């Protein structure tokens, strides 16, 4: 067997999603030589290969994100102004939302987000500071005591392997894939009250397999009078009649969940404020923003309650089980589209919208589904400090505000939002305070040179629900990229940076200079 090629870097980043890209830019900006791997052929994660418009807080246009995240948002808008025939009104709108989707103030085509990621990384790639290996999976790790010596990755296209050697390894994979390979202690699923003291943790024992649902997103538009009905999916009859115990109706229906403030869903707006339009929800193209004739239709991303998949997990299971659940999740999304095209009740009394067209070009795939499933919950490191519900929940904390962390390395804000789980639970949705990201949640309890750079930080099943969103993941990735560089420059370990007041202050001052906000103004919970 041919020996894997050995390549040496200052920082190895496994995973090219939101956190991975932010970490790569930060470490390279600090002078490090970086390699970033990515399982698909698109970097950008949630924005691109998972096709999820950014879930952001209400103050995002003014504050509450890092400088580079704001640069990304501004660059997305600039990309549309440079390359698209916008109307005069849209071009003059400083806060242009290309899709006018209701989920975000910046609903964009995944291909535009991908282009902007490449633009932002271009100076570092062209100078040789950053090497990007797309279509590469992490397959093994070499360890020595509390140190990871190397990680081997395999090309999914050629099957060739490369061994990556560095002083620091950042796990930015969507599922925390490095953690089990490197022996980094981690947890999965739902904790018990006995473990965390969280009021809404499980009353009984912990359930490591009780993990949030994942989703295969897809894009579609609508051309009235045309028929774009796809072939009937293999599993359609199953999903057409499937109903979990906590659901009001079958999966493929306009019924809302018990947690929803709306009485029902619809495809298009009905004029009834109690009925929520799903087409508008994650719409990424509102054709009114563009010169007449540019787009035949508005375009939307389908990441709805009806295509959340919770019948099984795709990590810490056998490869056969993983593939089974990935395929069944794809079948669910295709079944939802087929139901919409053929049997969904219409406002005019008819059934089905055959003019709905699967936009395979938006996803860049043959089946029209996203290149990678939207992962809401990862493996999570056992950390120096774990963020609990009682640190951030507005219900638990009342008027006292969020817990203040002396080792803050960033901020975030979102509700504690859990989708239905593989344990058969409906989910959880409650207000939280705008929170700080403590450095302790980014440091494993034992291994000294691995840092989490995605959703795999020291949070619980519950608090993951508000740490998993785009701006927070970006902040986490950027912080650990700078932390690895800082430790290399100063000859320190991450634990020493956190636990020595002089080092912590120095590092926090560096973060502030780099445009990372460490605290919020006084604002209300969300």
Smallest Cα–Cα separation from 437: which of 401, 400, 473?
473
pLDDT, tens only, 450-497: 999 999 999 999 999 999 999 999 999 999 999 999 999 999 999 999
pTM of the model: 0.97
Whether the per-residue pLDDT at 30 is higher than 50: the answer is yes
pLDDT, tens only, 146-167: 999 999 999 999 999 999 999 9
Phi, psi of 244, rounded to the nearest 5 degrees: -75, 155
Whether the per-residue pLDDT at 1 is higher than 50: the answer is no
C-alpha separations of 473 from 85, 411, 446 in Å: 32, 10, 23
Instruction: Give the three-state DSSP class for 47.
Output: helix
Quickly count: other Cβ atoms within 10 Å of residue 243's Cβ: 13
pLDDT, tens only, 263-300: 999 999 999 999 999 999 999 999 999 999 999 999 99
pLDDT of residue 523: 74
Domains annotated for the chain, with CATH where assigned, are: 5-89+111-191+377-513 (3.50.50.60), 214-363 (no CATH)
pLDDT of residue 525: 82
Q: At 322, list the tokens.
A: 């993983």
Find the mean pLDDT for residues 159-186. 98
Radius of gyration of the chain (CA): 22
What is the sign, positive or negative, of the torsion defined by CA atoms of 30, 36, 42, 47?
Answer: negative
Quickly count: other Cβ atoms within 10 Å of residue 28's Cβ: 24
**Contact partners, residue 261, CB within 8 Å, separation at least 6:** none
What is the sign, positive or negative, of the torsion defined by CA atoms of 218, 223, 229, 235?
Answer: positive
Side-chain half-sphere CA neighbours of 501 within 13 A: 1
Whether the per-residue pLDDT at 180 is higher than 80: the answer is yes
C-beta of residue 143 within 8 angstroms of C-beta of residue 183: yes
pLDDT of residue 2: 59
Whether the per-residue pLDDT at 361 is higher than 60: the answer is yes
Between β-strands 11-14 and 34-38, what pairing exists: parallel, antiparallel or unpaired?
A: parallel
C-alpha separations of 523 from 114, 160, 413, 443 in Å: 33, 52, 11, 29
pLDDT, tens only, 44-76: 999 999 999 999 999 999 999 999 999 999 999
pLDDT, tens only, 401-450: 999 999 999 999 999 999 999 999 999 999 999 999 999 999 999 999 99
Helix, strand, coil in percent for the chain, rounding step 5: 30, 20, 50
Averaged confidence pLDDT in the chain: 97
pLDDT, tens only, 373-397: 999 999 999 999 999 999 999 999 9
């Amino acid at each position: 067997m041919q020996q894997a090629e050995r390549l040496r870097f200052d920082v190895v980043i496994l995973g090219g999603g939101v956190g991975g890209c932010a970490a790569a830019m930060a470490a390279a900006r600090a002078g490090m030589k970086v390699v970033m791997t990515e399982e698909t052929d698109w970097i950008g994660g949630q924005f691109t290969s998972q096709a999820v418009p950014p879930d952001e807080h209400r103050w995002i246009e003014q504050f509450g994100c890092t400088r580079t995240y704001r640069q990304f948002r501004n660059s997305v808008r600039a990309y549309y102004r440079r390359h698209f025939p916008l109307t005069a009104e849209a071009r003059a709108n400083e806060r242009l939302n290309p899709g006018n989707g209701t989920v975000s103030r910046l609903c964009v085509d995944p291909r535009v987000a991908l282009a902007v990621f490449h633009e932002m990384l271009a100076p570092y790639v062209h100078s040789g500071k950053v090497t990007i290996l797309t279509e590469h999976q992490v397959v093994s790790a070499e360890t020595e005591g509390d140190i990871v010596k190397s990680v081997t990755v395999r090309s999914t296209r050629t099957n060739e392997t490369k061994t990556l050697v560095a002083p620091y390894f950042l796990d930015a994979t969507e599922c925390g894939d490095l953690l089990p390979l490197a022996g980094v202690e981690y947890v999965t699923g739902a904790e018990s009250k006995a473990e965390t003291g969280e009021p809404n943790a499980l009353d009984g024992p912990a359930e490591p397999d009780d993990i949030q649902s994942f989703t295969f997103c897809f894009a579609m538009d609508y051309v009235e009078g045309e028929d774009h009905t796809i072939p009937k999916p293999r599993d359609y009859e199953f999903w057409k009649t499937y109903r979990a115990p906590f659901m009001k109706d079958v999966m493929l229906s306009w019924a809302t969940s018990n947690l929803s403030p709306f009485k029902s869903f619809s495809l298009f707006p009905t004029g009834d404020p109690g009925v929520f339009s799903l087409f508008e929800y994650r719409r990424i193209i509102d054709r009114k923003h563009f010169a007449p004739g540019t787009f035949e239709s508005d375009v939307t991303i389908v990441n709805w309650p009806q295509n959340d998949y919770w019948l099984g997990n795709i990590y810490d299971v056998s490869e056969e089980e993983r593939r089974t659940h990935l395929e069944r999740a794809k079948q669910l999304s295709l079944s939802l589209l087929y139901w919409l095209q053929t049997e969904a009740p219409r406002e005019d009394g008819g059934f089905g919208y055959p003019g709905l067209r699967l936009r395979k070009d938006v996803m860049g795939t043959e089946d029209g589904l996203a290149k990678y499933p939207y992962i809401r919950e990862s493996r999570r490191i056992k950390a120096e400090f774990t963020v609990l519900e009682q640190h951030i929940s507005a219900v638990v904390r009342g008027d006292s505000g969020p817990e203040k962390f002396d080792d803050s390395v960033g901020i975030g804000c979102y509700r504690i939002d859990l989708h239905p789980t593989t344990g058969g639970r409906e989910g959880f949705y409650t207000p939280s305070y705008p929170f700080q990201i403590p450095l302790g949640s980014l440091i494993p309890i034992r291994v000294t040179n691995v840092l989490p750079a995605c959703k795999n930080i020291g949070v619980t099943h519950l608090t993951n629900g508000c740490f998993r969103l785009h701006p927070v993941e970006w902040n986490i990735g950027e912080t650990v990229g700078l932390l690895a560089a800082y430790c290399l420059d100063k000859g320190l370990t991450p634990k020493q940076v956190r636990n020595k007041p002089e080092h912590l202050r120095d590092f926090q001052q560096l973060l502030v200079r780099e445009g990372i906000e460490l605290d919020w103004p006084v604002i209300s919970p969300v």
